[in-house]
Every structure is written in C-alpha cells, then in structure tokens.
Homo-oligomer: A and B are copies of this chain.
Amino acid sequence: MTLQAVLDHIDEDLPKATDRLMELLRIPSISTDPAYSGDCDRAADWLVEDLHSIGAKAEKRVTPGRPMVVGHLPGEGTPILFYGHYDVQPVDPLELWNRDPFDPAIEETENGKVIRGRGASDDKGQLMTFVEAVRAWKAAGGTLPPTVFLFEGEEESGSPSLVPFLQENAEELTASLALICDTSMVAPGVPSISSQLRGMLKDEFTLHGPKMDLHSGHYGGPALNPLREIAKIVASFHDETGRVTVPHFYDGVHEVPKDQLRQWEASGFDERDYLESVGMRRPHGEQGYSTLEQQWARPTLEINGMWGGYTGAGSKTVIPAEAHCKITCRLVGDMDPDAVRKNLRAQVEAQLPADARVTWDTDIDGAPAAVMNTDRPEFEKARAALSDEWNREAVFAGMGGSIPIAGHFKEILGMDAMLIGFANEDDRIHSPNEKYDMTSFHKGIRSWARILDALSR
C-alpha cells in the first residue's frame, strides 16, 4: 500500500467527503444554549455512526453536559489520540449572515472555493480532515497506528466536563501523543505546527460606590462616580509604552531566542496584511516588540467588557451605584495565573477611594502557557510531511490564543500534544459567515494522510 494510492483516493473521494461534512454542518450543535442540547446529541450520534463506517468501535459517552464521542481503531505502532470538537458557537447576530448558518453551501470566492456555514472551520471541518484521512487509509487497506478518537461537545462553552472525563477515563484515553486539529496556519498556504500557546486568566470585578443610583444634578459634585473610578483603575493597567503595570506581572516571561524570532519572521506571516485586515496601521502592544512577538510571546491584560450607568438611547442624568469590568490576561512562559490574579486584584484594591469597594467574580479560571515538546521525533516527521504536501517549508509557530486541552492532556494523562490545523485567519470563526477554504479541507485531509504515514514508520 503506497501513500500515493491513499492520496489519489482522497482526491477521488473529495465530493463525498464534502457531502459528509455538509451533513454534519447541518446539525446546529450549539453547546452554549440548552435549546440545542438535542442537536448536540444528534451531532454526537452522527459522529459515532461515521466512526463505525471507518471500522472504529465508537460510542457516545454521557457527561453532566454535552456528550463525548470516544472511538477506538486498532493498529500497529505507537498509539495516538486525535481530538476535535463538534460543538459550534452561537450564530448571533443572525441578520449579518448571508445565508442560513446551518444550511451550508460551497461558494466561489475571489480566493477560491469555500465551505460556508457555522462550524465549517471551527471545528467540524478541521475535525473531519482527520477522519477522512483515516477513511482513505482504511479504504486503501493500509495500516495505521492504534488510534483513539475523542470528540468534545463543550469546547465553545468552556469544557466544563472535560477534566473530570479525562480523569475518569485516563487509562482508556492515554496514548503516546495527542493530535489536535483546531488551529490556524500562519499565513495562507503556510503549513503550521503550533509550538507554543498563551495561557489565560480571567477575572471580573464590580466597583461599588453610592448605595443607589443618584441624580447627577442633585448629587453631582459630592457624589463618588464609580464610572470615573473604574476608568482610572483601567487606565492604570498599562504605562505609556504599553507595558502592564501590575507588580510582578512579567515574572516568568522569557525573551524569544533570536533564532526562533528569525524563523517566525521568515514564516510568511504578513504583518501589514494582518494589521490592515482589522483596520490598523501599526501594532499597539508593548513598544520594542514585533507584531508577532506581541501576539505570540508577550503577555497581555485586556479589558473584554466594561459598563455602568445608562447605556440606552438618549440621556439619563444618573450617577450609577456601580460599574463593571471583565478582564482576561494572556500568559506566556512560566507566568503563574494565581500570582497574576493576586497581584492584579491587589492593584485594583489599592486604588479604591474612600466610600468605594470592589467585589470579585467567583467564576474564575486560569491556565498557564503551554510549550509543545518539539524535540519529540513526531514533530519533525509531521513537519516534513506537511512540507511535502504544501510544497512549502512547514513552520513551528507561536499562537496568541489559548487551548487548555493541550495542558490537560499533559497534566492529567502525561501525554504530549501536537497541534496542526488548516484554518485561515479570515475564516470568521465565532462570527457571521464562517467559512473553511476547500483547499484547507482537501489539503488538510491529504496532510493527515501523509502525517499518519510518517508516524507509522
């Protein structure tokens, strides 16, 4: 059985593979909204059936939330696990979609064919690249490593059942290496292995002032205004060079080695295009660091939401009783989420004026940054396979986002992870008119076929 035969089969089978993906995309498996709970079940059932069709044993496994799908395919060599998620983001605002988000279609665009629909890129399309690669190998009668499939249904709602599920099923799920397909390429056509992910810390506070909302005529002047106070606190989080002022914030942050930086800058990442595509002419992060460093290798403290007082149409002469702020920090290197939270909270509390107090959200969350173990031989094998498929040197790239699953695999199962994805930055994931390039889907399947081939040697 030759790799070429498998690749030929993939090319021939692409229309049917696309039809299968379209079927899965038609199931509105939104995990954040209980109204779609039944649809999540249907998506899980569909995947169980599809795993059966490629010869795997598979079943839907109950959790307190949406079900997991676990499948097993026997094989030879070093066992692997493949992870993807079948749940999708909500579709609001629906009026900004050019079509029903759950009636997917192939569309011609100036950049080629795309599959348009919610979940096409995040993560059903990516998940199916791996399944289709396995199908092609099986159809061609080839041998694969022993493979565990783990499809989650709660990734878009914070994965509440994931850690307990990994703990309770540790033995069954532990392989030698986890493959994760939920990431992007550095630039279109540049195959990418994510070698480091930023961690994340989230926190939220309410600043309380007067006992009740006050009339800004009768009380304006003497009254403490929580909106003014929260603005002062938020404005204090960064200095004029864009550096975060929280004490000890940069403890555990390491400078990127020069050779890695050179490799990143040569990866095909187009800074100008990246900035212009979102309406910016220059990067706005820490001065002295490149856009890529700011995005992949530097920590951030971002305000994701801030509000208080009257926010409707027209005017209301109110001094509100409270103001609110949602924060996330992206963490790198050895930054400790708990230490960052403690120092962040202390900085906020130190700035409170008389008659103000602060309350903190208790639904807190934090995960440190993750660096992949790229010394493992599988990384070089995958890099070579990707380079062959895309006819372009594959790169080890950083990533600005956070994928806690890689950390969970390591901590709970002692299993390294390798993150390879074929999404593009313009896929509009989490937004209206999400799409997945047909090239990503087709060459993604072919990429996994090559990687599976390389891993089984």
Contacts and interface: CB of A to CB of B under 8 A. Distances in A.
Interface of A: 158, 184, 198, 200, 202, 204, 209-225, 227-228, 230-232, 234-238, 274-275, 277-286, 291, 294-295, 298, 300, 302-311, 314-320, 323-324, 326, 328, 330, 353-355, 363, 365, 399-402, 425, 430-431
The main secondary structure of chain A at its interface with chain B is loop
A275 B220 contact: no
10 contacts: A158-B314, A218-B401, A220-B295, A220-B400, A222-B294, A223-B284, A227-B306, A281-B354, A305-B320, A306-B306
B282 A304 contact: no
Given A278-B210, A311-B305, A284 B355 contact: yes
Given A231-B231, A306-B308, A355 B221 contact: no
A431 B212 contact: yes
Contact of A285 (B214, B221, B274, B365): B221
Given A302-B220, A307-B307, A282 B355 contact: yes
Contact of A231 (B278, B303, B355): B303
Contacts of A236: 235
B223 A234 contact: no
Contacts of A431: 212-213
In the complex this chain forms, how many copies of it are found? Answer: 2
Q: Of A220, A221, A304, which is in contact with the most chain B CB atoms at under 10 Å from its CB?
A: A221
Nearest to A231: B234
Q: Of A213, A224, A227, A237, which is in contact with the most chain B CB atoms at under 10 Å from its CB?
A: A227
Contact of A221 (B200, B223, B400): B400
Contacts of A198: 217
A216 B326 contact: no
A391 to B, nearest CB: 26
A454 B230 CA distance: 52
Given A200-B217, A210-B279, 10 more contacts: A209-B279, A216-B304, A217-B399, A218-B295, A221-B291, A222-B283, A225-B302, A282-B354, A307-B307, A310-B326
Given A227-B303, A305-B309, A309-B304, A284 B222 contact: yes
A220 B306 contact: no
A328 B305 contact: no
Nearest to A236: B235
Contact of A278 (B214, B279, B286, B425): B214
Q: Of A235, A286, A302, A402, which is in contact with the most chain B CB atoms at under 10 Å from its CB?
A: A302
A47 to B, nearest CB: 26
Nearest to A299: B221
Contacts of A231: 230-232, 234-235, 303, 306
Given A298-B221, A303-B227, A215 B430 contact: yes
A399 to B, nearest CB: 8
A219 B316 contact: no
A400 B222 CA distance: 10
Contacts of A283: 221-222
A274 B218 CA distance: 11
Given A310-B305, A400-B217, A279 B228 contact: no
Contacts of A278: 210-212, 214, 219, 223
A272 B215 CA distance: 18
A328 B216 contact: yes
